[in-house]
Amino acid sequence: MVKRKACVFISGQGSNLKNLISHSREKNFPINICLVISSKKNAHGVSYAKKFNIPYVIVDANDKNHTNKILYFLRKYKISFICLAGYMKIVSKRIINIYHKSIINIHPSLLPKFKGLNTFSRVLEKNEKKTGCTVHYVNNKLDDGKIIIKKSFNLIKSDNQDSLKLKTQKLEYRAYPEAIIKIFRNR
Ligand code: GRF
């Protein structure tokens, strides 16, 4: 199997990046992570790129030339698939159009509910019975593209923001690789 060359965009912890790197080392996983782009110099996730010898670049999204810079590196490493994993910046329309159907994101709620930030506190405020995570294609609207996979769990009385984050991330580590396998199984 020829694996697609993928890039993961991050801004923070990078636990999904770490999880995707370990999956991408499996023989039958459809993508190989060949590049990491971080919007922040000090993002902890960059340490995983270093540890696993994956090329990485820091592209400050406030830089007015950032789209060109990102596209330069995506071309240089022949990237044909993009995974956003905790990337806190808006991806430009140009990149989304070029990577149409080949750029995906993971979001910590059951979309279309709770788009945007601070999902866990809003889930608690609304007394939701269930929450979870969603992997979806990226389009030009925030957390809006076609859904690939959702995974959910039931809330319990003692849940707080920390417990919801832990439970949601545990599901994310299953959902993201499964979504990628699903995409390429159907192509
Ligand atoms: C994840 O919860 C993801 O759903 C959201 O940002 C978080 C990133 O976590 N988009 P990490 O950086 O992968 O640890």
Distance CA 55, CA 36 (A): 6
Ligand 1, residue 107: give the atom nearest the CA.
4
51 CA distance to ligand 1 middle (Å)? 19
The residue contributing the CA closest to ligand 1 atom 7 is 86
State the average pLDDT for the chain.
96
Catalytic residue at 107?
A: yes
| Tens of pLDDT, residues 133-157 | 999 999 999 999 999 999 999 999 9
Residue 1 near residue 30, CB atoms below 8 Å: yes
Q: Which of 11, 13, 15, 16 to mutate to test the pocket of ligand 1 (most atoms within 8 A of CB)?
A: 16
Residues of the chain with pLDDT under 70: none
Q: What is the pLDDT of residue 61?
A: 77
